Structure 1
Amino acid sequence: MSNSELKAPFQYKKIPINQESTKGQKRAKNMAETLIRIWSYLAKEKGKLSLVILMVAISSGLSLLGPYLVGTAIDKFIVTREISGFGYLLISLLFVYLFHSLSLFLQSFWMIRIAQNTVFDMRKDLFNQFHRLPIAYFDKRQHGNLMSRLTNDIDNVNNVLNSSVIQVFSSILTLVGTVVVMLLLSPILTLVTMIIIPLMYFATRWITKRTGPLYKMQQNDLGDINGYIEEVLSGQHVVQTYSQEKRVIKQFEQKNNRLKQTGFWAQNIAGFIPKFMNTLNFLSFGLIALVGGILSINTSLVTVGMIVIFIEYSRQFTRPLNELSNQFNLLLSAVAGAERVFNIMDETPEENDEQDAAEIASTTGHIIFDNVSFAYEAAPILKNISFEAKPGETIAFVGHTGAGKTTIVNLISRFYNYDDGSITLDGNELNKIKRSSLRKHMAFVLQESFLFQGTIRDNIRYGRLDATDSEVEQAAMDANAHEFIKQLPNGYETILDQEGSGISQGQKQLLTIARALIAEPSILIFDEATSNIDTITEIKIQDALQRLMYGRTSFVIAHRLNTIQDADQIIMLEHGEIVEKGNHEILIEQKGQYYQLYKGQLVNEGNESLE
């Protein structure tokens, strides 16, 4: 296990949001731009949105009609004690509230469908973008943080679309309609109702200026803690091995406390709005009752029914303002989440294949490096690398950590593009071959075997999805995995999780070899597939690897030198340069760096000399 893997759970360092890549054509830089991009998804549902708006308009109109009918009933029937026609008015009032409830149900039903379709598209686009990003992007970021974008952040958008969109439309229509009707009924009482607007405006502005940054911090801290949890749980074996439980718990408490603090202040400051609005509501009711009562007693401009209408309209006037204020805070939270989602969508994907890049139907695996150089983020990694891998040969790369071994195989598989020099496959320049076509002829067996959640059969078949059951079982036999698979309770139908619990590390490695075998590749890449394996299983793995490598060009990143003594070429790397090259016997005779490294490993294994 590498040092970086050991350090990961303990030396976690948060990547500030402003350090994320700024590449891309349409980065969401502000609230307006983010809202426009959310609308680009909503616009796909224009038909349903039109129905929602229609229902919102109907419900808003009916909510205005109800109080008016109540006021009319007071003035025409209750005050005058007139009974004739009162029953018709009550029936009308009943139908108003029934249709109002129906319109609310329909607008909610359609809006939920719209919201689900929208976040479905957003989540699909984000997941697809993950598969377009280069490997280097994932190497620099916590997987848990990226998962948080796909779950928590998009869920925030979903929650707001389910509720806020309707509330915003409804509040605006209700607000406009209420003002118009109030002006028609009594300009004086309307003016009294409007007195609270300046207070609402300045209070809301003061609060939202503070909640916006807090909501963004809350989303960032949530992604931070999700990433840390995923990292620590994945490395739990390492945590317990080195007795670092107290340390990781302390770090988690620090991150959890930071999330608690940002969430506490964001929610508390946002919570001031409804409390303040309720106070203003009561103030408005009192002023309407006072002024309306005086006018009703001294003039004929205002009736008792009109006062009742205005008290209810005052509630309907302040309620939309209150809801708009509340929804604005929720909107800020959703925008913060959506912006984090769009930040990933705007990342520069893996470079497109060159226009003249071609498919390759087959390959012999003849690869030539000619003075290849590569720099990563302006730091030179490889310098003038030259070697030839003939068809069927095994090339081993050795050297200390950071020497450039992994970078070379990343160039071969086109996870990176080289800067200078030339790499050819069967005489074709590598960057003239489509990545997907190239990788169809390659297979990887890595130090850390990875299995997907599913059956053993499906994990092997992942190398070639059209493989038959008999081909899967034959690949398992060739990989020396068939015997232990048949001993499992459900055989090839045994369900594995991502960690491959229930089988040993060596057995997992045999399954990855079977997966590589069934892919029938021409080029193989190994990253010391036998490290940390018991001796008996190592013999099985070595036998399976020999069977897998036969007739195929193989590149091996070697950590244990005794496993590569039969390699056709061994390339010793130091600081991105080739310092020695040859087969095992030649390099031992030279007594250079390879000799010293090999001798040191033998001493560590208990041998005192090479003799």
Structure 2
Amino acid sequence: MSGTQQAEQRRGPMGGGRGPFGGMGQPVQKAQNFGPSAKRLLGTLKPDATLLVVVVLLGAISVALNVMGPKLLGAATNVVVAGFASLQFKNLPPGTTQQQIIDGLRATGHTQQADLLSGMTFTPGAGIDFPQLALILTGVLALYVFASLFAYLQARLLNGIVQRGMHRLRTQVEDKVHRLPLSYYDSVQRGELLSRVTNDVDNIGQSLQQTISQVVISLLTVVGVMIMMFTISPLLAVIALVTIPLTLLVTVVVARRSQKLFIAQWKATGTLNARVEETYSGHAIVKVFGHQKEVEQDFRGENEAVYKASFGAQFVSGIIMPAMQFIGNLVYVAIAVVGGIQVANGVISIGDVQAFIQYSRQFTQPLAQLGSMMNLLQSGVASAERVFELLDERDETPEPDEAETAEEDAATLEFDGVDFRYIADKPLIHDLNLTAEPGSTVAIVGPTGAGKTTLVNLIMRFYDVDAGTIALDGVDTRRMTRADLRARTGMVLQDTWLFSGTIRENIAYGRPDATEEEIVQAATAAYVDRFVHALPDGYDTMLDDDASNLSMGERQLVTIARAFLADPRILILDEATSSVDTRTELLIQRAMSRLRADRTSFVIAHRLSTIRDAHLILVMENGGIVEQGDHDQLLAAKGAYWRLYNAQFEGAAEEESGTVPAGMPAARAAGAPAVGGA
């Protein structure tokens, strides 16, 4: 399937654009399986595999120390209980042993008491052994201190691993964004793309940060506690193991349901972000056409979709923790009952039962934590799927293995039998032949959709031709690197783009090493110098994200100055003067005439008066050139250009004379198509 076909398939209900600034669509959401996505996500941490082993070892040491704690506390309980038990027999003759006491109790029919005493060790009449108790409690304190220290080291090390992994992932996403073909940007909403690059990547980092450590600790704790439980009482350990299949059953059932909801949540979030970004960028248009209510209604609907998906995902995944706690409480009751019976029969000591109950809590708690971590993990994997979809998108056509280059001063562009289409079965440009000589100005005019902007997009290799060649001084541009081709080309668009920074920095964007004198010369040629001194800080005036402290015309002049400073061999002006007044436009045209002596210029213009001096005027209709020549030749031919010219310059006179009813466009009365964008 071709790239254009793929782009067409991705176009959503909002429509697909043609060219770099066309309409935006919404990509089809196709979720991957949880397992492969989670495995690939963990693969982002592979460069730190050695450190991950250290993390596991630190976690194992911390868990081992923590697991030993209840056993020692049980021993302390045995010391206290045995001490109190020994005090009951302090009046017995010296030298009486524990076994003699137990035998005496059995002989007198106190079998249950004898069984209870047989489960402990004491010296009759000795009382509590406080030195031994102090030693045990000191050991417990040391265990927990060192366990906390190792846990801290593990958390600190893991934080670095995760953050480095997210740094690499962000770098991959950034690199991918620059490798994507323009057709991808034509088919995806800007807010949706930004949501994947920012929100989803941040959510992945938070999910990994919160889940990896907990999962490692929980799994190690389950293993360690299980070993300790079997050493205390195999019977009680078997009872505790009942929680594992129940936990797995609940987790799997809930996970299958919640994973779909998390995917829907992040998809809905991306759609909402796209709506907010689109509305914010075009808020003036929304107000002009009175569409506030419609926008608010759309926002409420999409916000409601985010709410429902988020609520459903969190609610369903939140069921896991209460379910785990319920299962843990049932096991706790069973252990307490069976353990009490075993203590009464002298099978195990009270301290061991106490330790086992603690272990049962330690056993069910990590299982419950694993279950509760599933909602975070699922949310992270759902975001990872969306990021991986972006990373898996088809790159633009790769650069040639052995790239060619044209001469340094190359400026001849030749179109030879060029065919191009955005949609497979809808040709746009067919068999286009054109030669633009150095120092010439080629003007392109025609009705909306004729292919004017598409033509310059092909020159810049924003898209590659389907057939034919575009050659720069005999070198096929597809055999050149895009960087080499675009370094020779300057482009000024109707939609101005300025970044946050000073006016000086914006002008020098194409040539960061330009001197102050060169910047001022370019600004003077584009008539920026005329207004910049009226600003508070002159060339050092800071522009915000939208450059709202400049008028639309001033912003366009800055972009023109930027193109002048770059001094390209090929200059493309796509309605570049549409936002400036007529006088300034004429002045800019004169300045360009002086600057374009040895360069090739392509001009797309609506106002035909601005291209009278062009060396060659191309009239395009339906993707082909229907007429070409200079201004006088085309007017004399009385063809398509003549109709366009009359539609613009005779309409006003006809309306004043009454030939055209007031309010009716002259172009419609003349039967000519209106001149529009590409």
When the two structures are superposed, what TM-score results if normalisation uses the length of structure 1?
A: 0.93
Distance 1:588 1:114 in 2: 70
Which residue of structure 1 lines up, in the alignment, with residue 183 of structure 2?
136
- Residue 127 of structure 1: how far off its partner (Å): 0.8
Which residue of structure 2 lines up, in the alignment, with residue 323 of structure 1?
369
Matched, 1:34 2:29: no
Which residue of structure 1 lines up, in the alignment, with residue 70 of structure 2?
67
- Residue 102 of structure 1: how far off its partner (Å): 1.3
- Residue 165 of structure 1: how far off its partner (Å): 0.7
- Residue 12 of structure 1: how far off its partner (Å): 7.7
- Residue 607 of structure 1: how far off its partner (Å): 5.9
Q: Is 2:24–2:189's contact at 8 Å kept on the other side of the alignment? A: no
- Residue 435 of structure 1: how far off its partner (Å): 1.5
Q: Is 2:26–2:187's contact at 8 Å kept on the other side of the alignment? A: no
CA distance 1:544–1:500, shift in 2 (3 Å): farther
Q: Is 1:528–1:560's contact at 8 Å kept on the other side of the alignment? A: no
Matched residue type, 1:16: V
Distance 2:513 2:75 in 1: 75
Which residue of structure 2 lines up, in the alignment, with residue 111 of structure 1?
158
Matched, 1:389 2:436: yes
For residues 278-305 of structure 1, the C-alpha deviation after alignment (integer angstroms, 9 at most, x for no partner) is 22222222111111111211x2222211
Asked which structure has the greater CA Rg, the reply is 2
Distance 1:441 1:12 in 2: 29
Which residue of structure 1 lines up, in the alignment, with residue 525 of structure 2?
478
Distance 1:508 1:545 in 2: 18
3-state SS of paired residue (1:376)? coil
Distance 1:534 1:315 in 2: 78
For residues 291-348 of structure 1, the C-alpha deviation after alignment (integer angstroms, 9 at most, x for no partner) is 1111211x22222111111111111111111111122221111111111111111112
Which residue of structure 1 lines up, in the alignment, with residue 95 of structure 2?
none
CA distance 1:606–1:113, shift in 2 (3 Å): farther
CA distance 1:85–1:538, shift in 2 (3 Å): same
Percent identity between the two aligned chains = 40
Distance 1:273 1:330 in 2: 12
- Residue 195 of structure 1: how far off its partner (Å): 2.6
Q: Is 2:226–2:363's contact at 8 Å kept on the other side of the alignment? A: yes
Distance 1:361 1:173 in 2: 66
Distance 1:4 1:454 in 2: 32
3-state SS of paired residue (1:112)? helix
Residue in structure 2 matching 1:438, options 485, 499, 511:
485
- Name whichever of 352-361 and 175-184 sits farther off: 352-361
CA distance 1:200–1:33, shift in 2 (3 Å): closer
3-state SS of paired residue (1:39)? helix
Residue in structure 2 matching 1:373, options 416, 419, 425:
419
3-state SS of paired residue (1:380)? coil
For residues 154-184 of structure 1, the C-alpha deviation after alignment (integer angstroms, 9 at most, x for no partner) is 1111112212111111111111111111111
Q: Number of residues paired by the alignment?
A: 593
For residues 559-586 of structure 1, the C-alpha deviation after alignment (integer angstroms, 9 at most, x for no partner) is 2222212111111111112211111111
Which residue of structure 1 lines up, in the alignment, with residue 282 of structure 2?
235
Matched, 1:332 2:378: yes
Distance 2:580 2:295 in 1: 28
Which residue of structure 2 lines up, in the alignment, with residue 312 of structure 1?
358
CA distance 1:594–1:449, shift in 2 (3 Å): same
CA distance 1:446–1:415, shift in 2 (3 Å): same
3-state SS of paired residue (1:580)? strand
3-state SS of paired residue (2:548)? coil
Which residue of structure 2 lines up, in the alignment, with residue 198 of structure 1?
245
Structure 2 counterparts to residues 177-576 of structure 1, below 5 A: 177-297=224-344, 299-378=345-424, 379-576=426-623
- Name whichever of 253-262 and 347-356 sits farther off: 347-356
Q: Is 1:367–1:425's contact at 8 Å kept on the other side of the alignment? A: yes
Residue in structure 2 matching 1:15, options 27, 40, 55:
27
CA distance 1:546–1:499, shift in 2 (3 Å): farther
Distance 1:296 1:422 in 2: 91
Distance 1:567 1:371 in 2: 24
Q: Is 2:314–2:375's contact at 8 Å kept on the other side of the alignment? A: no
Distance 2:142 2:486 in 1: 67
For residues 442-495 of structure 1, the C-alpha deviation after alignment (integer angstroms, 9 at most, x for no partner) is 101110111011111111111112112222122111211112112211111111
Distance 2:469 2:367 in 1: 66
CA distance 1:326–1:4, shift in 2 (3 Å): closer
- Residue 4 of structure 1: how far off its partner (Å): 9.4
- Residue 536 of structure 1: how far off its partner (Å): 4.4
CA distance 1:4–1:72, shift in 2 (3 Å): closer
Q: Which runs of 5+ in 1 are unaligned?
A: 6-10, 19-27
Which residue of structure 1 lines up, in the alignment, with residue 101 of structure 2?
none
Q: Is 1:12–1:228's contact at 8 Å kept on the other side of the alignment? A: no
Distance 2:305 2:213 in 1: 33
Matched residue type, 2:77: I
Matched, 1:156 2:171: no
Q: Is 1:372–1:420's contact at 8 Å kept on the other side of the alignment? A: yes
- Residue 220 of structure 1: how far off its partner (Å): 0.7
- Residue 548 of structure 1: how far off its partner (Å): 4.0
Distance 2:243 2:471 in 1: 76
- Residue 14 of structure 1: how far off its partner (Å): 4.1
- Residue 604 of structure 1: how far off its partner (Å): 4.5
Which residue of structure 2 lines up, in the alignment, with residue 76 of structure 1?
79
Q: Is 2:627–2:634's contact at 8 Å kept on the other side of the alignment? A: yes
Distance 2:41 2:239 in 1: 39
- Residue 60 of structure 1: how far off its partner (Å): 0.9
Q: Which runs of 5+ in 2 are unaligned?
A: 1-14, 18-22, 84-127, 658-665, 667-678
Which residue of structure 2 lines up, in the alignment, with residue 23 of structure 1?
none
Distance 2:383 2:72 in 1: 44
- Residue 54 of structure 1: how far off its partner (Å): 1.7
3-state SS of paired residue (1:385)? strand
Distance 2:154 2:204 in 1: 18
For residues 252-282 of structure 1, the C-alpha deviation after alignment (integer angstroms, 9 at most, x for no partner) is 1100000000000100111111111122222
Q: CA RMSD in A?
A: 2.0
3-state SS of paired residue (2:45)? helix
